[in-house]
Amino acid sequence: MFANYLPTGAEYFRLLPEMILTAAGTLIMVLEPLTGYRRKRFLGHLALAGLLAALWAAVVAYSSPGPAFNRLIVVDGFATFFRVLVIVVGILTVLSCWDFLARHKAESGEFYSLILFSVVGQCVMVSANELITLFIGLEVSSIATYVLAGYLRDDKRANEAALKYFLLGSFATAFLLYGVAWIYGVTGTTNLVDIRQILESRDVIHPILAVSTAAALMFVGFAFKVSAAPFQIWAPDVYQGAPTPVAAFMSAGPKAAGFAILLRVYLTAFGPIDQSWVPFVWTCALATMVIGNFAALAQNNVKRLLAYSSIAHAGYIMVAVATGTAPGAAAAMFYLAAYAFMNVGAFVVVSHISGRGERKVNIDDLAGLSSRQPLTAALFSVFLLSLIGVPLTGGFFGKFYIFKAAIDSQLYWLTILGLLTSAVAAYYYLRLIVVMYMRPAVDGEEELPPLGGGLKTALWASALGTLALGIFPSAVLNFAGASGAMLVR
């Protein structure tokens, strides 16, 4: 009698990336006690192989799109786009963490397993078609990230970061869950497509006030995960305290997945009542852009500066969400892809220069980087220029499409203020470039170690990604456009 619940082969096929990642993570845990202290790099290679296999699986899973497991997840263009994105972020993180972990004598299999499991959670999130699955995916991703933030156990700031992130994150999750309970209470379903149909049907008089409350409560949870104002307070402390490769991971992977579920829930499920949620997304976008950019001006610590900059970028993406349209969703997707490359790249550079104990993370420590390590300085400049939004980089087209979508939706004020704040942002990014190129190195500074193989690969891959999105944006944008349109079907 339960035979119709048995998943078919095609459904397993659609879940293949998650299965590969979970298997790889578990395998690493099993092999961890069997590898000696000096051989831990092998586990890193294994994690990399798992991620690459999952990347392949995510791409081929799109050859048979559709729902799976009783419509709990759905593999469509949107899910595939974000799956590929979060897996690529995982790959870049694993590549860039080797030197860092070796320097802190903290190489272990647990680190790689946690990264893989966190990516599993993000993959589930972005393909979730239902609120319970979405919530479980979010928790898997978040809890792994909380642990990763406190990975360097002896570092006081890392402990502080992990605890702050954990407490505030649990609090925000409670709001999200409360919102889910409301929406289930009103509509009697947790499936996003069913919620949309119930809200659209005219013969059911749905209490709009209750649905709006649910949307608002869920927004608290989502806004926390993507560090949007007024729920951004945790971000600078956590990014500063967490190990730099983890900060790179947190600022790109979970954030992209957070925006993915925000877009899917609001455009698919709450699409019919957009007049009631657009105002608070609008306010949040404005506040996030202003707070992020102006607070970043006053920072001297590069990690904190990048944390505030990541808040500001969340603001730009919120502008795209506030349009509530398919082009807006496509612009947000494109921006998240560009942002992932440039931001991970910038954090990778910081992790390279930070030194043992991460002491050298102030802006002054960048002095003379252009003469000490010209290649690192040049690539860092590419990432910073892209974060500003200079043409020929991914950041330019990201901003361009977002503000174009905003103008098409008549969000003129938001566009004007977004452009003004991104002009402010140019100052603090350029300041880093000026210090790198114009100020001589301090005498007696110990030599930076040469770029390791993993770091070099991660840097070049991020730089190529940033430039490719800036020079040939159309392929990615067309894909994003087609899959964004599916959300509001």
Partner 1 sequence: MDVILFLLFAAIAVACGVNLVVQKHPIASALSLVGVMGSLAVLYLLLGAEFIAAAQVIVYAGAIMVLFLFVIMLLNAGGEPKTPGKSRMAGLLGIPLMAVLLGLLSYLVQRALPKPAGVTFGAFTGGKPYDVGKAIFTEYMLPFEITSVLILIAILGAIVLARKEID
Smallest gap, in angstroms, from Cβ of residue 471 to partner 1? 39
Strands 66-68, 73-75: pairing kind = antiparallel
Smallest gap, in angstroms, from Cβ of residue 154 to partner 1? 5
Smallest gap, in angstroms, from Cβ of residue 281 to partner 1? 19
Q: Of 89, 186, 385, 480, which one interacts with partner 1 (CB under 8 A)? A: 186
Q: Of 132, 168, 233, 430, which one interacts with partner 1 (CB under 8 A)? A: 132
Which residues have C-beta within 8 Å of that of residue 210, sequence separation ≥ 6?
182, 185, 186
Smallest gap, in angstroms, from Cβ of residue 124 to partner 1? 6
Please say which residue, 213 or 283, places its beta carbon nearer to partner 1. Answer: 213
What is the Cα–Cα distance from 107 to 99, expressed in whole angstroms?
A: 9
Q: Which residues pair with 362 in a beta bridge?
A: 301
Q: Which stretch binds partner 1 (CB under 8 A): 19-27, 49-57, 368-376, 447-455?
A: 19-27
Burial of 206 (0-12, 13-18, 19+ CB in 10 A): middle
> Is 283 an interacting residue with respect to partner 1 (CB under 8 A)?
no
Which residues have C-beta within 8 Å of that of residue 330, sequence separation ≥ 6?
401, 405, 477, 480, 481, 483, 484, 485
What is the Cα–Cα distance from 136 to 133, expressed in whole angstroms?
A: 5
Q: Which amino acid is at 408?
A: D
Within 10 A of 172 (CB to CB), how many other CB atoms are there? 19
Token pair for 331: 């612009």
Smallest gap, in angstroms, from Cβ of residue 190 to partner 1? 10
Smallest gap, in angstroms, from Cβ of residue 237 to partner 1? 17
**Contact letters (x/-) for partner 1, 70-89, by CB under 8 A?**
x-xx----------------
Please say which residue, 129 or 393, places its beta carbon nearer to partner 1. Answer: 129
Distance of CA 35 to the CA centre of its chain: 32
Which residues have C-beta within 8 Å of that of residue 49, sequence separation ≥ 6?
24
Q: What is the DSSP string of 426-471?
A: HHHHHHHHHHHHHSPPPTTPPPPPPPPHHHHHHHHHHHHHHHHHHH
**Contact letters (x/-) for partner 1, 142-161, by CB under 8 A?**
-xx-xx--xxxxx-------
User: How big is the site for partner 1, counted in residues (CB under 8 A)?
Assistant: 47
Please say which residue, 260 or 321, places its beta carbon nearer to partner 1. Answer: 260
Taking CA atoms, 174 is separated from 169, 203, 370, in Å, by: 9, 33, 47
Reduced 3-state DSSP string for 115-158: HHHHHHHHHHHHHECEHHHHHHHHHHHHHHHHHHHCCCCCCHHH
Smallest gap, in angstroms, from Cβ of residue 146 to partner 1? 7
Q: Which stretch binds partner 1 (CB under 8 A): 116-124, 285-293, 350-358, 377-385?
A: 116-124
Residues 216, 141, 340, 56, Cα dihedral to 10°: -130
Taking CA atoms, 302 is separated from 45, 169, 343, 380, 486, in Å, by: 29, 24, 12, 12, 39
Within 10 A of 358 (CB to CB), how many other CB atoms are there? 23
- 194-253 residues in contact with partner 1 (CB under 8 A) are 207, 209-210, 213
Q: Which stretch binds partner 1 (CB under 8 A): 88-96, 100-108, 193-201, 480-488?
A: 100-108
Smallest gap, in angstroms, from Cβ of residue 4 to partner 1? 9
Smallest gap, in angstroms, from Cβ of residue 144 to partner 1? 5
> Is 162 an interacting residue with respect to partner 1 (CB under 8 A)?
yes
Smallest gap, in angstroms, from Cβ of residue 98 to partner 1? 16
Q: Which amino acid is at 192?
A: L
Instruction: Please say whether the beta carbons of 108 and 267 come within 8 A.
Output: no
What is the Cα–Cα distance from 223 to 33, expressed in whole angstroms?
A: 39
The H or E element that residue 106 is part of is none
DSSP-based three-state secondary structure for 70: coil
Q: Of 22, 310, 422, 483, which one interacts with partner 1 (CB under 8 A)? A: 22
Please say which residue, 99 or 365, places its beta carbon nearer to partner 1. Answer: 99
Q: Which stretch binds partner 1 (CB under 8 A): 115-123, 254-262, 267-275, 401-409?
A: 115-123
Q: Which stretch binds partner 1 (CB under 8 A): 51-59, 85-93, 136-144, 377-385?
A: 136-144
Smallest gap, in angstroms, from Cβ of residue 209 to partner 1? 4
Q: Which stretch binds partner 1 (CB under 8 A): 117-125, 279-287, 329-337, 380-388?
A: 117-125
**Contact letters (x/-) for partner 1, 27-66, by CB under 8 A?**
--x-------------------------------------
Smallest gap, in angstroms, from Cβ of residue 225 to partner 1? 16
Q: Of 54, 124, 180, 246, which one interacts with partner 1 (CB under 8 A)? A: 124
Contact footprint for partner 1 (CB under 8 A): 2, 5, 7, 15, 18, 22, 25-26, 29, 69-70, 72-73, 104-106, 108, 110-111, 113-114, 117, 120-121, 124, 132-133, 136-137, 139-140, 143-144, 146-147, 150-154, 162, 185-186, 207, 209-210, 213
